Amino acid sequence: MKEKTGQLFKAVGKKIKNFMTPARYIVLGFLGVIAVGTILLVLPFSSASGKTIGFVPALFTSTTAVCVTGLTVIDPATQLSIFGQIVVLLLIQIGGLGFMTTTTFMFMLVGKKISLKERMTIQESLDQDSLKGVVKLTKRIIAFTFIFEGFGTLMLMTRLVPALGARGIYVSLFTAVSSFCNAGIDIMGKDYGAFSSISAFSHDPVVLITVMVLIISGGLGFLVFNDILRKKRNRPLRLHTRVSLSMTAILLVVGAAVILGIEWNNPGTLGPMDWGDKVLNAFFQSTTARTAGWTSINQANLTDGAKVATMVLMFVGACPASTGGGVKTTTFFVMIMLFASVFRGRDEVVVGKETINTRTIKRAAVVTTAYFLGSFAQALIIWATEAAYGVRLSVIDSMYEAFSAFGTVGVSAGLTTSLHTPALITLCFSMFIGRLGPLTIGTALLNTKKQSANIKYPDAKILIG
């Protein structure tokens, strides 16, 4: 009997081991962190009032923190206790680093050896082509994170400590972590008004520029900084790094110019500011729109044109292997080059003297399509579910909320706190898919296996366009 039981457990264990692919480890890991966060936040002592905030607000807050989005249905500063705020801070840090990076860091602290399976999962989470050096890269990621967050904390303290006293140290740390992780969740509501984000500092260049530097640094991705360090040893920058840096600069400048032009005389946003503050806040809006979630101007007061421009930035997002979301700058670049190659009549997508392989192009097309359709589907769901409750939302605001969730951005035109439970639950799904990416989710669900390279099917012809 004992022998049969042992064989049964062994067989079950083998099936579980075979089932747990790297993609599934990542998905289940993030789900586990969200679940633990929800349980902790729903406890009465996580609330400032001593009464539970409720399951749905706890689930939504945990999801938005782990997925480093920033959409909130509660104000953390006024509705959560210090314990609840620290839980949110830890969830943001885990979400920003990534589940496997955090797990690897914990293993390193206790001296546990990283297994081959764990290395493969790290490889999947960081989108690396090889297992070589993934643990070393993880160590650098952790070092980069703490260095930038430490720098940000010190810079913000120069402004927040004089304004808030000793509490300014805590607020500076929270703001720095939330900024670098591209979360945009704040605890300034207690001092400057609930859901005020960073608007109290819309005229303070030190605070805004510090937050922008943290957002951009986290959004560039750890691989970019790793490659820049390698460049010091006379190695050329990789195409990934060159594209990430150039696209980030282009989107930042073009986005700021468009927003500045549209909102220059808008009395609800940039209108009352002097020209210096207008330029600074336009750049801040362009920066935060690409997945950060901080707001220095009221998003509800933006013109429809500025909202559309912001949605484009949300859609593109940050860079791969970063703390940000969106389709990613490199994906957007590959799609632009694909368009260019088709219009030029070329069969290959060439950048400089390098050819983008077919696998990369297919992945870029899948990601772009999935994000585009997913965002529009989410917008339709928000509009339809709220209509069922007798609430008529504008289409543009529904799309703004949807693109913000799917791109893990976190800016809102003021809808989030008024949405009903069905819409909030679907937003949780969108934030989760947006954080992990449709490729990881799809691989985890379908567990697709590569077909043998020896199998070749006849070409099929289908009319396009």
Burial-class residue 24 by CB neighbours within 10 Å (0-12, 13-18, 19+). middle
pLDDT at 443: 82
- Residue 53 near residue 43 (C-beta atoms within 8 A): no
- Residue 82 near residue 174 (C-beta atoms within 8 A): no
What pairs with residue 392 in β-bridges?
A: none
pLDDT at 452: 47
Q: SS3 sequence, 257-303? A: HHHHHHHCCCCCCCCCCCHHHHHHHHHHHHHHCCCCCCCCCCHHHCC
Domain extents for the chain? 18-120+132-444
**Per-residue tens of pLDDT for the chain, all 465 residues:** 556 665 665 665 566 666 677 778 888 889 999 999 999 999 999 999 999 999 999 999 999 999 999 999 999 999 999 999 999 999 999 998 876 677 676 666 666 676 666 677 666 666 666 666 677 777 888 888 999 999 999 999 999 999 999 999 999 999 999 999 999 999 999 999 889 899 999 999 999 999 999 999 999 988 888 888 876 566 788 888 999 999 999 999 999 999 999 999 999 999 999 999 999 999 999 999 988 889 999 999 999 999 999 999 999 999 988 888 899 999 999 999 999 999 988 888 888 888 898 989 999 999 999 999 999 999 999 999 999 999 999 999 999 999 999 999 999 998 999 999 999 999 999 999 999 888 888 888 876 554 444 566 676 666 666
Q: How many CB atoms lie within 10 A of CB 148?
A: 19
pLDDT at 291: 83
Q: Whose CA is closest to 76, among 199, 194, 211?
A: 194
* Residue type, position 106, single letter: M
Q: Whose CA is closest to 107, among 129, 64, 138?
A: 138
Token pair in block for residue 462: 């289908």
∠ CA(138), CA(143), CA(145), 5° rounding? 95
pLDDT at 227: 84
Q: SS3 sequence, 99-156? A: HHHHHHHHHHHHCCCCCHHHHHHHHHHCCCCCCCCHHHHHHHHHHHHHHHHHHHHHHH
Please name the residue that has the structure tokens 């490199």.
Answer: 330
pLDDT at 461: 62
pTM of the predicted protein model: 0.90
Q: Whose CA is closest to 268, among 300, 241, 315?
A: 300
